[in-house]
Amino acid sequence: MDRRSFLRKSVAQAGALITASSVLTGLSGCGGGSDGEAIVPLPPTFPGTDQPVPATPAATGAYKFPQSVASGDPKSDGALLWARVVPAAADDILSAGTPANFSVRLRISSADNAAALGSDTALSGTLTSDVEVPVYALYDNTLRHRIRGLQSGTTYYYQFTAGDSRSKVGRFKTAPAADADVSNLKFAYMACQDWSVNHWAGLSSLVKEDIDFVVHLGDYIYEAVGADYQAGGVEAAHSALVLPNGVSLPSGGKYASSLADYRYLYKRYRSDPRLQALHERFAFVAIWDDHEFSDDCWQDRSTYDNGSFNAGTGAADNTVQTSRRLSASQAWFEFMPADISFTLDAGYGISNIRIYRDLKFGKLMHLVMTDQRLYRADHLIPEAAPSPLDGKPLGQIGARYMVPEATLAGIEAQKIDAAKKLGLPDEMTLVSVLGTAQRQWWMETMKSSTALWKIWGNETSLLKMIVDGAKLPTAPAALKTRFVLNADQWDGYNGERKQLMAHLATNKISNVVAVTGDIHAFFAGTVMDDFNAASPKPVMVDLVTAGISSNSLFSYFVGAANSPAFAAVKPLVVVNEVACEDIAIQMLSAAIAMASGVTDLSNTAAIQAAVMGAIGAGLIPLAAVQPTPGLSTAPINTFDETLNGHMGDTIAATNARLSGESKSTACSTLYLLIADSLSKALGIPIGFVPAPEVVKRMNPFANATTGEPPSANNPWLSYADSNAQGYALVNLSKTELVCDFKKMAPLSGGAAPTTPVASVKRVRVPVGKVQVVLD
């Protein structure tokens, strides 16, 4: 083997799968060919070398591009282009490495090929570039090619040719020049596209949007098949996934465990024509979240089981799966059109890939994308730690979800102190999401940015989300505390969040907005410098999109609320007319008992005796304490107001409606009892008592005297819709950021809705203000 052949092979196998080429223009130097100047394409080379790629064209014959084409990471002078090429006789999904590596032809043109977009019609017009690009069996016949030397802010069309076959025509738009005074920019962002849940009609809607590019915030694939969180309906267009290998999950189903498994998932996901169409039309800027490797993962650890815990030292760990992590990373690199660094050199371990990066779009926007899984520390409270109630491992509830806030803060302080005592160079090492190097990069990037808007592509929500059980008079003692809803997001890494916010505040870095995914709900709110401060100050905005097809956050909490352990707080998540009437009966019974002198409301016998006495005296009818047949059991979402509104308002409104419609004697009696009490207190006829004052006091959590409901759990939250699927659309200008949350219509009879978008909620962020304005 000669030196050049050896070098080509070594570079290719070391991970230089991204090849690169540039176009040169004539003496005019305009760089685009649109004015007819000479185009002199340079041959593609391996990045970091001057070695050309193999240029043996694909043999004459039929080939195909089963996952179509894609583009990503648009720069002012180019983008990264992607395809997968296999012989026509090969299976679309199964790996079909060719006996020898080969090259395909890539053509690019700025001529208008809109009519051919998404078809295999030959690309027309003057070519901007015409180069050979290699395809390697080693990478499952995928290719990615970095093209440079193009004009900024320009739409280009591209097409690959292999043998006698053409790919579909794809399109991308280059970013504005770094010094361009751009007045407007539009992009969509999305996350959580589970093949096995719900429907992908949102992709059909997104294809039609007038945008410049798409930001994907992770969970592009779900590593699990048949997992408990995937229960529910799925459109018939998505047949069941069958992993080539797979390992059984403790709760049922299987998870991807090998490179073949992860490759299979990407290929099946990209077999959907709607996802193909989206990639064909818009460049993606993508990062991963957890499911590209493993649910709620950190570094190379999975969290399907509780892991280990040493009671003597307090040390804990989840299952280490280094080989699986490396396979997941390689498959992501092979199938996502991302202009990042990657190597197969085993000496780098799981750090063989770096996906955090930034992209600039003129003077208007700086897009900063982070990786919040590969470098993060373990959850602060180990899942294997014993529960103070029964000594059993905490598991998800108590470690990741519904975690006592005080406990979480105490353990975080202990770990920061431990890092100092151990002499670690970074006190955040044991409590970090970003890791030392990425955090420093993020701070420097934000500080040095000269763009008007700094947009942070952020996987998990920065907004504090707590539920305060102390506000619930009927909650058992174990629930009378403040709970952090989800410690897998930034609430579980509060120290580092405060450090990042302090950096923004201290350096007066303004107009920072995070676009976020992960949590399967729409949220909008302000991120505070310190959420627990007496007077927290807003620093930036977080806008969270729902999953495009995942089960909603609401559905998960409904499942948890159905557990007997959470029966007392179930009304904070979901109610129905039957449950609301039952609450009205409890309130009515308590009021009668207190009026008769009962002070201990835990004494059910005394309450019952008082109620029967009132019935016997003709004060209330027997029907007032009996369930009404025929009331609806359809779920009513109370979770949204628990998160950012007054708890109990929905229950009060529902019971007031049942009273007004004469559907419930219990609700009507409670309404009249409250109205009569107010009439006597105010010295006015009962008919003059304001209805809103009565309804306020029908809230089971309100102050019985004043009718004031408990304060909002999370006042920094401006908007919440926890029962949703959809995506978000951003329109940036010099005066404001406008974000449309596009909520999808539900699955209907196993089919995706023909009109995907059910509703749109618009939120605005004015330039120069840390504020969310709702339309």
Comparing CA positions, the residue from 592, 660, 564, 584 lying closest to residue 627 is 584
Reported confidence tier of residue 389, pLDDT bands at 50, 70, 90: low
Q: What is the pLDDT of residues 41-80, one digit of tens each?
A: 455 555 545 555 554 677 777 899 999 999 999 999 999 9
Please report the pLDDT score of residue 27 as a whole number: 22
Reported confidence tier of residue 6, pLDDT bands at 50, 70, 90: very low
Does 613 have pLDDT greater than 50?
yes
Please report the pLDDT score of residue 33 as a whole number: 32
Residues 330-337 have a mean pLDDT of 97
Instruction: Give, for 720, the enclosing helix (H) or strand (E).
Output: strand 717-721
Distance CA 384, CA 307 (A): 6
Comparing CA positions, the residue from 602, 583, 584, 581 lying closest to residue 593 is 602
Instruction: Give, for 158, the enclosing helix (H) or strand (E).
Output: strand 155-162
Q: What is the pLDDT of residues 237-270, one digit of tens each?
A: 999 999 999 999 988 999 999 999 999 999 999 9
The model's pTM:
0.93
* Residue 153 burial (10 A CB sphere; 0-12, 13-18, 19+): middle
Does 726 have pLDDT greater than 80?
yes
Distance CA 55, CA 600 (A): 87
Residues 547-560 have a mean pLDDT of 93
Mean pLDDT of the chain: 90
Does 31 have pLDDT greater than 60?
no
Going by the DSSP 8-state scheme, the letter that residue 603 receives in this structure is -
Classify strands 283-286 and 213-216 as parallel, antiparallel or unpaired: parallel
Q: How many residues does the chain have?
A: 775
Number of neighbours of residue 348 by Cβ within 10 angstroms: 14
431 - beta bridge partners?
none
Tell me the CA end-to-end span of the chain in Å, nearest whole number.
68
* Residue 482 burial (10 A CB sphere; 0-12, 13-18, 19+): middle
Give the amino acid at 596: S
Cβ–Cβ under 8 Å, residues 517 and 411 = no
Strands, E assignment, 487-596? 512-516, 522-528, 538-544, 574-575
Token pair of 364 as six digits: 């208007």
For a pLDDT cut of 90, what percent of the chain falls above it? 75
Cβ–Cβ under 8 Å, residues 503 and 446 = yes
Buried (b) or exposed (e) across 174-191, using 16+ Cβ within 10 A?
bbbbeebebeebebbbbb
Residues 551-578 have a mean pLDDT of 88
Q: What is the pLDDT of residues 182-226, one digit of tens each?
A: 999 999 999 999 999 999 999 999 999 999 999 999 999 999 999
The C-alpha angle with vertex 383 and arms to 379 and 386, in degrees rounded to 5, equals: 130
Give the amino acid at 83: A
Classify strands 184-190 and 213-216 as parallel, antiparallel or unpaired: parallel
Going by the DSSP 8-state scheme, the letter that residue 357 receives in this structure is E
Does 22 have pLDDT greater than 70?
yes
The C-alpha angle with vertex 61 and arms to 268 and 11, in degrees rounded to 5, equals: 65
Any residues with CB less than 8 A from the CB of 88 and at least 6 apart, and which?
Answer: 61, 62, 63, 64, 165
Distance CA 706, CA 63 (A): 75
C-alpha dist (Å) from residue 675 to 67, 244, 651, 655, 685: 66, 67, 18, 14, 10
